[in-house]
Structure 1
C-alpha cells in the first residue's frame, strides 16, 4: 500500500511549497531553472546579504542559495522590500525599495536598482530611482513591451481625495529611459475606490505631518501581463494581516493606460482567503510551468500561527470573466509539468 501512496505523493504538491517566512515572492525563470527572491526587511541572510534566494527546477522543490543583494554601505537601519529581477542584454537588474522601517514612519521608502551578471547574484546597488513629490514608493515591477521598450510599475502614496478616491497607496506606471532611469512622466494606473482595499480606519501617518486619515487604503505589488492584446495590471489590496487581502486587476488597451477598474466592493477576484484554511494570499508574481504550457501564480499566505508568510503556487486560468487563480489550494494538487 505504501508504494502507490508514495507514487501519488510524488505527482502532487501541497501548499505551502516552502515552510517558513518568504514574503513578497518573485520568481524569475532563466533557462531551465527558477530563482525565487523574498523580502528580508531589515534582516540579513546567513551570508550577510539581503533578500532570501532560492532555486528550483520544478516550482515545488526549492533549495536555498543564501542571499541575493550585497548590503549598500550605511544601510543597516533600513528595511529592504519586494525584490524583482529582469534580464536585459545579458545583465540582471533587481528593483526594490529601501527606507525607514515600519509603514508610516517619518522616513519614507524609495526605489533602487542593483545589477549582477548572474541571476543568482550577488547583486550590487548602482542607482536610486527617485519619484518626485513622493515620500513612500515601493514594489517596483519592470515590464518589457512588444516593441522592446521597458516600463516601471510601482506603488506610491496619494493623500488627496480627488475625484472621490480614497487616500492611500495606489499604482503608477512610468517609462524607463534606461534600466536605471525613469522618464519622470508617470501616469496613475489605479487608485482605491472599493471598500475591501481599506488598510486601516483613522490611521495616524507620521510620514505626513502626523495627519490622521479617516480611511487609508492600500493597493500594492503590481504585476503586468499582456494577454490577447490587452494589458492586465494585477495587484494586491487591503491590509496584508487580514483575510481581506487578495489579488485583483485592472485592464488597458495601451501599456500607459488608461486602465479600467471593473472590480467591486465584494473583494478580490483573482486570489482571496479561504476561511479556516488560507489567510491573506497575495503579493504575487507570475511564471510558466517547466513545459511552458501553464501559467502559475507564486504568492505568499500566512501560516496558522500568523508568524510567517509562506511560499505557495497555483495555476492561473484566463476565463470568460477574466483571470482567475485556481486556488488558493491547501490540499494535494497535480505538480507543474
Structure 2
C-alpha cells in the first residue's frame, strides 16, 4: 500500500460525540489549549453533575469543578485527565464555571467564573477571577476582576493588535448582555461597558479570513458577529447549529463554544444537551435532560459569512502553536 493510500485509510472523521465526561456526564463550556511541555492538547470544561439524581433544583450545575481532557492525536480523540487544582475556594460548596485559558510569555492564565456556593437557583452573585499556572494543572489566585456588576460569567480574552488585551463577558444584570474590559498586562482591568446589542453568553472572539469574529450562545443556536476593529460588530443573520444534526447526541442546539484557528482552518468545539432535542425531549428533571457532551465541527467561510455543517464528516489534526 503506498503512503498516500495508507494515509487516507488511517484518517478517520471524529466521533460524535467528540467527548463525554466519565465522572458526571456533564461536560460543557469547552476551551482548548496546547500543553507545550507534554506536547498534548488539553480541553478544560465545566464539569456539571448531570448524573446526581438527588440534586435539588439547580444544585447539579453548582458545586462543580473544572474537568480536563487530553488529546495526543491533534484533537481527534480525547481522554479524561483530571480536574484542575484551583486554590481559590473561599466558600463552602464553591462553584467553578466556564474557564478561559490562554498562554503568554510562559505563563498560563485562567479567567474563571466563581460562584460562592452550591445553590438551587440562579439568583446569586458570580464573579470572574484571574488565576495563573506554570503547568496548566495547578492554579494560583491572582485577583477578582473589578467588572461592572457582581453577577458576571463566561470570560473570553483576546490580544489586540497593539499588544494590549480585551476581555468579553456576560453581564447578567443587564439582560445577559455582552460587555468588555481592557488591560495592558492581563492583571489590571478597566471595564468599558457594553460590547454588542445582543443577549447571549459564552462570547468567543477570534481572527480568521482577514477579519474578527465573535460567536455567542443565544440559546437558539450560535449568533455570529464580524468586525474590522474589535469595537464595531455587525450581526450575521444566520445562526450556527440551530437546526438539529443527525449524529449521535447531536440533535439539540449547539451551546457555549470555543474556536481553535489552526493554520488556514477553524474548528468549533461546542456542547449539546442530547436529551433536549426538540423532536423528542426528555423530562426536564431527568438525567437524560441534564447530561451534556462536547461536539466538534469545522467552520466554513462562504460569501463573507461563517457557516458549518454538523453532519459533514470532520477531520482534525491540530498543529502545535499559540491559539490567536
1:86 is aligned to 2:102 = yes
Work out whether 1:336 is the aligned partner of 2:306: no
Query: Which residue among 240, 256, 265 is the counterpart of 1:283?
Result: 256
The reply on whether 1:157 has 2:162 as its aligned counterpart is no
Q: 1:270 to 1:49 in 2, by over 3 A?
A: closer
Q: Which runs of structure 2 are paired with 1:139-288 in the superposition (5 Å)?
A: 139-159=154-174, 168-184=175-191, 186-192=192-198, 218-238=199-219, 244=220, 246-255=221-230, 257-263=231-237, 269-274=239-244, 277-288=250-261
Contact 1:18 1:312 in 2 (8 A): yes
RMSD of aligned residue pairs (Cα, Å): 2.8
Q: State how far apart, in whole Å, the 1-side matches of 2:42 and 2:245 are.
A: 31
Aligned to 1:33: 40
| In structure 1, C-alpha distance between the alignment counterparts of 2:134 and 2:76, rounded to whole Å | 26
Shift, 1:135, TM fit: 2.8
Please give the per-residue CA displacement for 1:233-287, whole angstroms capped at 9, x wherever unaligned.
111112xxxxx3x2111222212x1222243xxxx52222317752131210011
Offset at 1:17? 1.3
Please tell me whether residue 99 in structure 1 is matched to residue 80 in structure 2. Answer: no
| TM-score, length-scaled by structure 1 | 0.73
Matches of 1:157 and 1:55, distance apart in 2: 32
Name the CA distance, whole Å, in 1 between partners of 2:88 and 2:236: 41
Count of equivalent residues: 276
In structure 1, stretches of 5+ residues that fail to align are: 1-6, 160-167, 193-217, 239-243
When residues 76 and 41 of structure 1 are mapped into structure 2, their CA distance, relative to the original with a 3 A threshold, is farther
Q: Which runs of 5+ in 2 are unaligned?
A: 1-7, 51-62, 276-287, 318-324
Q: Which residue of 2 aligns with 1:214?
A: none
Q: What is the SS of the residue equivalent to 2:235? A: coil
Matched, 1:138 2:153: yes
CA contact (8 A) 1:280 1:301 kept: yes
1:207 is matched with none
CA-CA distance at 1:88 after TM superposition: 1.1
Q: If the length of structure 2 is used for normalisation, what is the TM-score? A: 0.76
